[in-house]
Amino acid sequence: MRLDKYICDCTGLTRSQAGKLIRQRAIVVNGAIAKQAAMKLSAGDEVQLDGEVISPIGLRYLVMNKPEGYVCGLDDPHHAAVFTLLDEPAVEKIHSVGRLDVDTTGLLLLTDDGKWSHRISSPRHHIAKTYRVWTADAISEDAAARFAEGVVLRDEPTATKPAQLELVGSHEALLTIHEGRYHQVKRMFAALGNRVERLHRERIGQLQLPTDLELGEYRPLTDAELAAVFIGND
């Protein structure tokens, strides 16, 4: 691989920025200052940038405990995006796996692997997502049965897929859904005449929100956590 391409893969910089670093004598290959952007690298060559060995970024699989007040898109002029909480090279390549509302907290996956995020978000794979819900009014006795049957959301022709509701208290429950419609949980409770006051995602597949993450913190998923997302879905 060409040296400038390798620098791009390691840093997320453009080819011309990589070329500039080479001209500035900031790149060292196997102990010697590199002079040519087109230099061919072989397996095992060591490249340093400003004295630090660099290696390709590769695909990233991150888990965040999303705080309130942040959005998962880039199109909201009034709220900061969750990506501003990331300290990652080439952060613009990272997207969230589905979206949580600005006031929803909890388990959010982030990646630059589009195939992986599609596998998790696509309704075809019906990966379970579990939310802890706090409601304005007491949750009605028939709520679990109605969610298990499917409810028709406002302005939508088809009922929701069967969902599981586990009551925790009169105004608190765990709801597991297998699709990801717009504001789905809030609209499901609205269909029962109730209102969601607070929403926190706790689980995707068999992956629980890690207990070591404070709100706003993130880290790479471990191999076991990566596998847990798909347990029961292959």
Positions that interact with ligand URA (CB under 6 A): 100-101, 104, 183-186, 199
Give me the catalytic one of 4, 76, 87, 101.
Answer: 101
Is the CB of 18 or the CB of 175 nearer to ligand URA? 175
| Secondary structure element (H or E) that encloses residue 207, with its range | strand 207-208
Tell me which residue of 153, 82, 145 sits closest to 111, measured CA to CA.
82
Cα 69 from Cα 229, distance rounded (Å): 26
As measured in angstroms, the least distance from the Cβ of 6 to ligand URA is 40
Token pair of 63 as six digits? 């888990």
Length of the chain in terms of residues written: 234
Tell me which residue of 67, 63, 94 sits closest to 223, measured CA to CA.
63
Token pair of 119 as six digits? 């596998």
Listed in sequence order, the residues at least 6 apart from 183 whose beta carbon sits closer than 8 Å to its beta carbon are 101
As measured in angstroms, the least distance from the Cβ of 22 to ligand URA is 45
Cα 185 from Cα 189, distance rounded (Å): 6
Cα 133 from Cα 124, distance rounded (Å): 25
As measured in angstroms, the least distance from the Cβ of 183 to ligand URA is 4
Whether 101 is catalytic: yes
Cα 230 from Cα 98, distance rounded (Å): 16
As measured in angstroms, the least distance from the Cβ of 31 to ligand URA is 52
Q: Contact 201/104 with Cβ under 8 angstroms?
A: yes
| Secondary structure element (H or E) that encloses residue 70, with its range | strand 70-71
Residues known to be catalytic: 101
